[in-house]
Structure 1
Amino acid sequence: MDSRIKPVVALHWEAFIADLAEMIQVESVRGAAADAAPFGSGPKQALALVAQMGQAYGFKTGIVNDAMAYVQWGDDDTDYLGIVGHLDVVAAGSGWHTPPFELTRHNGTLYGRGVLDNKGPIMACLYGMKLLCNMGFQPAKTIRLIFGSDEESGCADVPLYLEHEAPPQFGFTPDGKYPVVYGERGIVNYALDTTLPAAAALGPIVGEQAKDHVPDQLSTTLAGQVFKAIGKRAPTNAPELGVNALTELAKQIVAAKLGPEALQAYFAWIVTHLADQHHGQGLDLALEDADSGALIMTPYRLSKTAAGLRLGLAIRYPVSVSEATVTARLQSSLPPQTQLQVLRRLPGVMHDQTRPEIQTLSAVYGAVTGLNPTPVTTTGATYARVMPNILAFGPSFPGQKGIAHKQDEWMTEDDLAKNMQIYMQSMLALTKG
């Protein structure tokens, strides 16, 4: 490990924070497609800004298909180490104590949408590469930082990039957790459409609902009574950290014993089979394996349809389990008159833990942090599923969970600085002659 890196990071920290603050100000939430902006003006603005910054740092830059930007140190456009992050963010939502699109510093902690997921870490990689260049290092292999603009909405940016550019020979995305992530679970989102004329008795279901988080506030009316459920937001890959307003609403309706019998039966099914059963126990989905642990199940959306009700269900299944197995088991547990369809699927991914590059990253992590470097699996979904030869590496340290996609998204300055050090040391270790 190079002992000069830590003090250099500290010396230039305020300049980095200023650049990060400028990027946080870009409201890069996916919007309507526009000319030269397939994912909306905000994500495209973020790409333009990072390309501008990279050019100012003295690196080669480009924007590919208006979908991904790159900042490159070296001349080889095909044989390169790739570091792939994203500048798009999920919507801010409500309930913030600081302005979501301003970088706020308070007692050593940074707040702002994207400070963890993923602007902070990928900008730390960029600034870290700048510092290495300024220190006089010359990598024996090209390093290309790739900045995406659609990771949060389906990764449609990656195919657009690969239409024109070669994939990395190896690399990582700073968008998961430490240590090195050698496997990511499969993800499948279902819509359960129930034909239920009795649902007409239910008023509009009001509240923010999206596939990335547990709903935290829902309300409706039934038989002249208002029902309002207050939960606690958490990512759908960590539902146990939250309180699901959808299932809480179902509990209230069941307890009130109001409305048509068929509607009561439907909400009773939700309570019995879904409420607080984060591992799919109520759906015959209690599946697990040694690599990734237990399946995770989250109901995340309930809406009225012309025929009845639609329930959105997010499932993250172990790496050794197939989507077909999950679907078959779920099919056998559905309420009456319910049809199932897949809305989204992301197959799991596995890497060989003995691969030399994985061992190199593990050694860097262990040396910088003093923590156990044994590779792990994750419940999250990253660019590792769609960009060839990429795995997740950081930024969250062991024990840190459920911070992204919530109000008051945060990361401590110490942790972000340590990330920059890890990524700088990793660049050196993976590109030495």
Structure 2
Amino acid sequence: MSIDFEKEVLKRKDEIIKDLQELIKINSELTTFDPSRVGAPFGEGNKEALDWMLALGKKDGFKTVNVDGYAGHIEYGDAKEFVGMIGHLDVVPAGNDWTYPAYGAEIHDGKMYGRGTEDDKGPTIAAYYALKILKELGVKLSKRVKLILGIDEESGWRCVRHYFSKYPESPVSGFIPDADFPLIYAEKGITRTVLKSSFIDERIIKLEGGFRDNMVPDFAEAVLVYNASYQQLFDKYVKENNLDATFKEENNQINIRVKGISAHGSLPELGKNAIDLLFDILKALKIENNLTLLADKYLTHDNYGKKLGVNYHDEEMGDLTVNFGVLKYDGKDALIYLNLRYPNNVNYDKDVLPKINNEIKEFNFVATVEHHQQLLYKDPNSEMIQKLMNVYKKHTNDVDAKPLSIGGGTFARAMPNVVAFGPHFLDKPSYIHQKNEFIIIEDLIKATIIYTESLYELAK
């Protein structure tokens, strides 16, 4: 069967844009997780996004399933073997200082702005339309195709764990539309490493920074008991270091707030960590305690774990990275979330965690692991990868392209026989997990073309 995939996608361009705009307007940031909240364990916004997507599938004549409000799927065909995709509809917090509304889905200069446009609602819509086009063309396939929808990818993957407990089948092939083109064959291991301690510092009422460990924090603040010396020390340090920070005195308290620049937690070097900057200010104010000393000696201004002695470089997969993502201290209990990502040849449980604990015990802190995604590695020469690469090359003329290794983590770890595949083109800017996230409309359409033909090649 001869199909002009580009023509078929372009015929539906306006429809694709309209549906993505509707989905972006749903704020699906995780609020709280409550398994007793029937049908909405991840909150109403995440429920609304899942319901909206399943309703779209049902309207277009697909079989749809909602798995207890945790996840769902849209399915085409009846064959035993299937080709699988997983997209996610949850988003990281929007953060601050957007040029256009984070949930406005406004289009300016050929770009749609909004949280989730590239990560991962835009790619999920592209994958959905790839499936829809094959159905509308009546293409005969030898395999089922199933688009699984998660709503807890950014927070803990409880959605897919629950889904696969109810639908444990594995695909024969597939892809995850939540990374980069040309294709991802390896992903670093990822941990949420939590550092805890308890101590009293009567000078501090509160320290807080960051939204999620997998985002470089773009804000941090300190609420301090009033001290007449702080203003002059603050002004001098901020001026000398050209920081974007404010100092407010009110009700015998001082509020200090510092701004940074957010970035994805897998690439902390691309951001400006506001928590690091806050600790620099506290040091300038001559505030010392176990927390500030720990941060200065082992954590701040170090994206590669050199201060902790856990730095490592792998020729194929790159560096171990550490993102100081979240800080909380209420005058008594201190909590730090590190997003630590490691390449091949690193044994996190045997080598890294014990090393961290050995260092931080000096300041009475203890490190534990709250979440761990094991490293992923697929043979870049496999038949499936070659099929996907060939489709990518056909529609981009990027004939010398090679599959990639990344520090990000995708749902490719959630089921076997799949790899991460697009939608981001490496020669274009990306603002995922940052303010002003957008997707270039032309790239969204190009990704849809690639996904449509790729599904056909895998399932025909």
Q: Deviations over 1:42-85 (max 9, x none)?
A: 22222221122112222222222322222222113x41000110
* Aligned counterparts of 2:406 and 2:384: Cα–Cα separation in 1: 19
2:218–2:260 contact (8 Å) kept in structure 1: yes
Kept in 2, the 8 Å contact 1:200–1:308? The answer is: no
- 2-side partners of 1:401 and 1:65: how far apart? 37
How many Å separate the matches in 2 of 1:85 and 1:415? 17
Contact 2:322 2:339 in 1 (8 A): yes
Query: Aligned partners of 1:279, 1:207: CA distance in 2, in Å?
Result: 20
Cα-to-partner distance string for 1:219-260 (whole Å, 9 max, x where unaligned): 214452343322111121111111111111111121232x4x
Q: What does residue 249 of structure 1 align with?
A: 278
* Contact kept? 1:319, 1:349, Cα under 8 Å: no
Cα distance in 2, alignment partners of residues 388 and 38 from structure 1? 26
Question: In the TM superposition, what whole-angstrom CA distance separates every residue of 1:148-182 from its partner, at most 9, and x where no partner exists?
Answer: 11111211111221223223222111011122211
Change over 3 Å in CA distance of 1:206–1:336 after alignment to 2: closer
* Distance in structure 2 (CA, Å) of the matches to 1:275 and 1:207: 13
2:437 corresponds to which residue?
409
Is the 1:183–1:319 contact (alpha carbons within 8 Å) kept by the matching residues of 2? Answer: no
- Structure-2 change in CA distance of 1:288 and 1:399 (3 Å): farther
Q: What's the secondary structure of 1:70's corresponding residue?
A: strand
Q: How many residues align?
A: 426
Residue equivalent to 1:274: 299
Equivalent residue number for residue 331 of structure 1:
357
Instruction: Measure the CA separation in 2 of the matches of 1:336 and 1:217.
Output: 25
SS at the partner of 1:315? strand
Q: 2:39 aligns with which of 36, 51, 64?
A: 36
Runs of 4+ in 1 over 4 A off after TM superposition: 305-308, 399-402
Q: Does 1:359 align with 2:386?
A: yes
Q: Which of 240, 261, 273 pairs up with 2:269?
A: 240
Report the equivalent of 2:64. 61
What do residues 110-168 of structure 1 show as CA deviations (whole Å, max 9, x unaligned)?
11111111110111111122223323422222111111111112111112212232232
> Is 1:124 matched with 2:126?
yes
Moved more, 300-309 or 324-333: 300-309
Report matched runs for 1:284-363 at 5 Å.
284-304=309-329, 307-324=332-349, 325-334=351-360, 335-363=362-390
Q: Which amino acid aligns with 1:245?
A: A
Residue 86 of structure 1: CA displacement? 0.8
Partner of 2:178: 175
* Stretch deviating more after TM superposition (2-11 or 282-291): 2-11
Which has the larger displacement, 377-386 or 54-63? Answer: 54-63
Q: Which runs of 5+ in 1 are unaligned?
A: none
1:392 maps to a residue whose letter is A
Letter in 2 for 1:389: N
SS of equivalent to 2:38: coil
Instruction: Name the CA distance, whole Å, in 2 between partners of 1:46 and 1:24.
Output: 9
In the superposition, relative to structure 1, how do residues 402 and 266 fare at CA in structure 2: closer, same or farther (>3 Å)?
Answer: farther
> Residues 337 and 272 (structure 1 numbering): CA distance in 2 closer, same or farther, change over 3 Å?
closer
Cα distance in 2, alignment partners of residues 186 and 93 from structure 1: 26
Taking structure 1 as the reference length, the TM-score comes to 0.92
TM-score computed with the length of structure 2 as normaliser: 0.87
Q: 1:46 to 1:309 in 2, by over 3 A?
A: closer
SS of residue in 1 equivalent to 2:282:
helix
Tell me, yes or no, if the aligned pair for 1:183 and 1:376 is still in contact at 8 Å.
yes
Distance 1:8 1:67, change over 3 A: same
- 2:416 is paired with a residue whose SS is coil
CA contact (8 A) 2:194 2:336 kept: yes
Q: How far off is 1:399 after superposition?
A: 4.4
- Tell me which residue corresponds to 1:19: 19
CA 1:274–1:417 in structure 2 vs 1: closer, same or farther (change >3 Å)? same
**How far 1:4 sits from its partner (Å)?**
1.5
